[in-house]
Amino acid sequence: MDRVISVSVGEVALKKGNRNFFEKKLLNQIKVATKDLGRPNVYRERGKMYVKANEDNLEALIKRVRKVFGIVHVSPGYKVNKEMKSIEKVSLKEIEEIRKTKEIGTFKVQCKRADKKFPLNSMEVARRVGGYILANTEGLNVDVHNPDIYIYVDIRDSAYIFSKKIKGYGGLPLGTNGRGLLLLSGGIDSPVAGFMIGKRGVSIEAVHYHSYPFTSERAEEKVKDLAKILSRYCGQIKLYSVNILNIQKEINKNCPSEEMTIISRRFMMRIAEKIARNNEIDCLITGESLGQVASQTMKGLNVTNSSVDIPVFRPLIGLDKTEITEIAQDIETFETSILPFEDCCTVFLPKHPVTRPKLDNIEKSEGSLDVDELIDNAVENMRIIDINI
Ligand code: ATP
Ligand code: MG
């Protein structure tokens, strides 16, 4: 008898002709996500994926594996020989384990048979296992319509027995859908944005802008911490750390103060576009949400957007702050995001930022800056940090 985690896929299963490609990617992502937990064997058996575990690493493995995109739920369970005696015994063990922590009165055994040569059919297996449990326990009944718990028996090359289903995030395996560059600030929104696009199979790299020494080193540490939390979902993340203090000073000196924010944002976008083009990245990702702050009005977003010529994905565009916060709490970035370290934008923050900027005016203001040279300098001096899971 082996301890295993069985993995249920969602959309991956719908990929018909490409299923093998998606499953291989998923298998690989599970291996990457678990390699520091003893490099467990991750394998496929008749179209289903399993992670071999032991009692010591089971809980840690569940926590990791459920975060891998493409997985709808994970089930801790047992792998046993394909014979009724073992199946009955382990099913009984599983239900007894559950009764230690949860009061249950009814159960139902559900059997699936990928191996059609197995001598008993699914109904017969379920009936036999149910009968065995009834005969060896007290205070339990079978309820086929609305049971307190299910005992699942999967008959493949071996038999698999499990009961719990722990939710994953669904989506598609990383690396099945191109690459994106996340503009990662220290706030609540941008990590959530990265999570959401990563969930659709996009490999994520990140760029962070700071104004050191106006902003503290702790502010950058915070962003690294956020990237680290994201990497539990998105795998290894390359973080480009770009100092834009010089650019901000130039804007401050040469442009109207109420345009500071919007012009800074256009620089951020342009620098990100340049990094993306240099690294074969297909899109930018931001945490912008329509109307959330002055620079994210419809007009503000349009003026920001027109600084670049690369697709920009804004997965939070229609979400309220409370909805974004809920996701941030769920993916465990929230607590880090709310730590009080300065973001670069606050350094030269105007008292009255324009809320309805006109592209003509902004472009005219930018005319007094050497945009290309400022960008080239910032990119030349950026640092690259590898964030590992
Ligand atoms: P967040 O919570 O993500 O900081 P926000 O509501 O504070 O978002 P803004 O500061 O206007 O909004 O930023 C909007 C988006 O621009 C962010 O979600 C992020 O994608 C990007 N951005 C802002 N500041 C930075 C920064 N210092 N480094 C990298 N990206 C940034
Ligand atoms: Mg911010």
CATH classification of the domain holding 203: 3.40.50.620
Residue nearest to atom 18 of ligand 1 (CA): 287
Distance 209 CA to ligand 2 centre (A): 10
What's the whole-model pTM score?
A: 0.92
Note whether 263 and 134 are same-domain residues: no
Distance 297 CA to ligand 2 centre (A): 15
Residue-by-residue DSSP string for 245-312: HHHHHHHHHHS-GGGHHHHHHHHHHHHHHHHHHHTT--EEE----TTSSGGGSHHHHHHHHTT--S-E
Give 33-42 pLDDT, tens digit per residue: 999 999 999 9
Question: What's the pLDDT score for residue 148?
Answer: 97
174 belongs to a structural domain: no
Note whether 123 and 237 are same-domain residues: no
Q: For residue 163, what are the domain limits?
A: 2-169
Give 206-219 pLDDT, tens digit per residue: 999 999 998 888 99
Query: In the chain, how many domains are there?
Result: 2
Note whether 127 and 218 are same-domain residues: no
Query: Residue 14 pLDDT > 80, yes or no?
Result: no
User: Is ligand 1 within 6 A of the CB of residue 189?
Assistant: yes
353 belongs to a structural domain: yes
Distance 343 CA to ligand 2 centre (A): 7
Query: Residue 13 pLDDT > 80, yes or no?
Result: no
Note whether 271 and 340 are same-domain residues: yes
Give 214-246 pLDDT, tens digit per residue: 888 899 999 999 999 999 999 999 999 999 999
311 belongs to a structural domain: yes
Which is it for strands 141-142 and 283-285: parallel, antiparallel or unpaired? unpaired
